[in-house]
Amino acid sequence: YPDKVSKTVHREFLGPVDMHAKNDPAAIVQAARSGECELATQAMDIFTSAYGAEAGVLALQYMPFGGLFVTGGVTCKTRDFITGEKGAEQSFMNAFLDKGRVTPMLMRVPVFLVKGEDMGERGIKLKAIRMLREAHNSRMPSKGHMCNSCW
């Protein structure tokens, strides 16, 4: 659809002329959010549907009946598209549930959008603390240099 390309959005996506192309996806999200570019809106609808379909596949693999927590920077920055406030209505959930005869099982999986963008960092910090405690508890006690009450 070359005739539908918005030159303004395309330039913003590519970045300054005198530099390497930055290919900034935020330009597409912003153009779709404001409604200034039909192609950007279509791109976000396709992305949201693909994201929902993959989340559904993941839910089929792990069957998280306590909930599937969708997190990360992309999720936070595209939240209004995922929830259907912008773009195609409910494309994420429609794609999530579009799994044929296993759809009833997926309907039992609650989907949560986590607002925090740093969940990966939080998770690795928690893992590091647990590993440190495990290593500390498995060591032979020294001659009083460290005590278990310090941890």
> Facing residues of 70 across strands?
113
Percent over 70 (pLDDT), the chain: 92
pTM to 2 decimal places: 0.80
- Residues for the chain: how many in total? 151
Residue 27 has pLDDT above 60, yes or no: yes
What does the DSSP assignment read for 33-75? HHT--HHHHHHHHHHHHHHHHHHHHHHHHH--TT-EEE-SHHH
Percent over 90 (pLDDT), the chain: 73
Is 37 exposed, middle or buried (CB count within 10 Å of its CB: 0-12, 13-18, 19+)? Answer: buried
The residue among 126, 45, 121 whose CA lies nearest residue 87 is: 45
Residue range 120-137, pLDDT digits in tens: 899 999 999 999 999 988
Residue pair 26/36 in contact by the 8 Å Cβ criterion: no
> Facing residues of 69 across strands?
112
